[in-house]
Amino acid sequence: MTPESELTTSESTQPIATFLVFRGSAEEPQGFQEFKVPVEEGMVVLDAVHYIQQHFAPDLAVRWNCKAAKCGSCSAEVNGKPSLMCKTRMDALPLDEPVRVSPLKAFPLTRDLVTDVSWNYEQNKRITPFTPKDENTDAWNVRQEDVDRVQEFRRCIECFLCQDVCHVVRDHDQKDAFVGPRFLVRLASLEMHPMDAADRIPFIKEEAGSGLCNITKCCTEVCPEHIHITDNAIIPLKERVVDRYYDPVLWFLRKLRGKA
């Protein structure tokens, strides 16, 4: 059966959505290509992309793994909004106009919907890893309430949607001076870990560029894991930087009490 005949037979029962999908690479011609896709109940944008691969464009480049909003692979921009394609329901989109699917804008294009996100992996490498206070204890005694916040941060699936939406990373291209919200979240998860011994405050100020964030909260809005990136991670980190550099007495007192 050709795709066309499939469309006509299903037309009477199924609504058809028009997709404009970004195609091309640095070397190939770029632009939006139009596809018609029958819409099923409960369908998500990634289903449509797979339909397009199977019926019209077998070589369409796209990343995905879990199809369950758990791995953070299928990040793209749907109608301009950074989204997980596997989590974006078709019935939440206005289907009287074309659905535009394009790659993350903040990162260099590889091909079609795939971008080169290696910059993010480089940022992670710069961060001092978890440094246990106590190497020898068999099992740690840690209260749930002391790790609730850290667990919130550790829910991050590294989809990099927050990186994509953050204007510091995206527009101003200050990628040398700012690690982006994802890695401020990671830094917060380490700094607030009750059993961590390392001090990352100088790094957060000097190299991670915490001062460049001007708390627009765009990152928090797109986070599929609903992590309170700005309120719970970035603002407290900024406060710690201020304490350290501008209120050393307070910092010293905190250090005496435990975790600075």
Partner 1 sequence: MVQNYETRYECHHHDVLVVGAGGAGLRAAIEASAQGLSVGLVCKSLLGKAHTVMAEGGVAAAMANVDGEDGWQTHFKDTMHGGKFLNNWRMAQIHAQESPDRIRELERWGAVFDRTESGKILQRPFGGHTYRRLCHVGDHTGLELIRTLQDKGVHSGMDVYMEATITHLLMDNGRIAGAFGYWRESGRFIVFSAKTVILATGGIGKAYSVTSNSWEYTADGHAAAYRVGAELIDMEFVQFHPTGMVWPNGVKGLLITEAVRGEGGQLTNSEGERFMKNVDPKRMELSTRDIVAKAIYREVKEGRGSPHGGVFLDISHRGAEFIKKKLPGMYRQLLEFADVDITKGPMEVGPTTHYTMGGLRVEADSAQTTVPGLFACGEVAAGMHGANRLGGNSLSDLLVFGRRAGIGAADYIRQNPGVPVIRDEDVDAAARELITPFEQENGENPYELHRELQTMMQAKVGIVRQEADLQSALTDLQGLAERARRVSVQGSRQFNTAWHLAIDLGSMILASQAVAHCALQRQESRGGHTRLDHEGYNDYWARHNSTVRQENGDMRIGVSELPQMPEELAKLFEEAV
Q: Which residues bind ligand SF4 (CB under 6 A)?
A: 72, 156-162, 165-166, 168, 181-182, 185, 213-219, 222-225, 227, 229-230, 234
Q: How far apart are CA 17 and CA 38, in angstroms?
A: 6
For residues 146 to 165, the per-residue mask of contacts with partner 1, x marking binding by CB under 8 A and - elsewhere, is -x--xx--xxxxx-------
Question: 89 forms bridges with which residues in the sheet?
Answer: 44
Nearest distance, CB of residue 75 and ligand FES, angstroms: 8
Nearest distance, CB of residue 185 and ligand SF4, angstroms: 5
Work out whether 197 is an interface residue with ligand FES (CB under 6 A): no
Q: How far apart are CA 212 and CA 183, in angstroms?
A: 13
DSSP of 126-183 = HS----BS-SS-SS----HHHHHHHHHHHT-----HHHHH-HHHHTS--TTT---HHH
Please check whether residue 52 is in contact with residue 37, taking contact to mean a CB–CB distance below 8 angstroms.
Answer: yes
Which partner in ligand FES, ligand SF4, partner 1, none is near 84 (CB below 5 to 8 A by kind)? ligand FES
Nearest distance, CB of residue 87 and ligand SF4, angstroms: 11
User: What contacts 62, CB < 8 A, 6 or more positions away?
Assistant: 46, 49, 53, 74, 76, 85, 112, 113, 114
Which partner in partner 1, ligand SF4, ligand FES, none is near 250 (CB below 5 to 8 A by kind)? none
Q: Which residues bind partner 1 (CB under 8 A)?
A: 25, 28, 40-44, 47, 53-54, 58-73, 87, 89, 110-112, 114, 116-117, 121, 124-125, 129-130, 132, 135, 138-144, 147, 150-151, 154-158, 190, 193, 196
